[in-house]
Amino acid sequence: MSFNNLDTLYRQVIMDHYKNPRNRGSLEDESVTIDMNNPTCGDRIELHLQIKDGIVEDAKFEGEGCSISMSSASMMTQAIKGQQVDDAMNMSSIFSKMMLGEDVEDIDLDLGDIEALQGVSKFPARIKCATLAWKAMEKAVANEEQQ
């Protein structure tokens, strides 16, 4: 597939998650909720995670933001649901590397739709948009571990 076709495919994946967000909403008995905003624009995400026995049993999000931040939240919740907390954190560090433009081709975890966001690394102003949901997840896990 040519780079142009790949770009088009990635754009379509991002817009699909933006227009049809997965896991949007709240949880009735969530174990942890984190409110986080992007200080550069004020957009915000409220992330709800249900963590039990070291597993992310459920993940949902609310909030308002640009297509990158909301699609990233949709992809992130989809990716971490059902995962061990350690694997979710591992994905987060891989995603950070991806945003730094590092090559993440050789990793064991299946990133699924998240790969569509790799082009964001070329636009430094948008990296905070893409990492907002992941930072919220990291903070939620840290809070949960303190409880």
Interface positions with ligand FES (CB under 6 A): 38, 41, 43, 65-66, 68-69, 129, 132
Q: Which residue is nearest to ligand FES (CB)?
A: 129
| Distance in Å, CB of 125 to ligand FES, minimum | 8
How far is it, in rounded angstroms, from Cα 88 to Cα 77?
A: 10
Residues facing 61 on adjacent strands: 24, 47
Residue type, 127: I
Which residue number, 68 or 85, has a Cβ lying nearer to ligand FES? 68
| Distance in Å, CB of 68 to ligand FES, minimum | 5
Q: Are the C-beta atoms of residues 28 and 57 closer than 8 Å to each other? A: no
| Distance in Å, CB of 5 to ligand FES, minimum | 26
Which residue number, 11 or 107, has a Cβ lying nearer to ligand FES? 11
Which residue number, 68 or 76, has a Cβ lying nearer to ligand FES? 68
Which residue number, 38 or 78, has a Cβ lying nearer to ligand FES? 38
How far is it, in rounded angstroms, from Cα 27 to Cα 124?
A: 33
The SS3 assignment for 120 reads: helix
| Distance in Å, CB of 24 to ligand FES, minimum | 16
Q: Are the C-beta atoms of residues 70 and 117 closer than 8 Å to each other? A: no
Q: Strands 32-37 and 44-52, how do they pair?
A: antiparallel
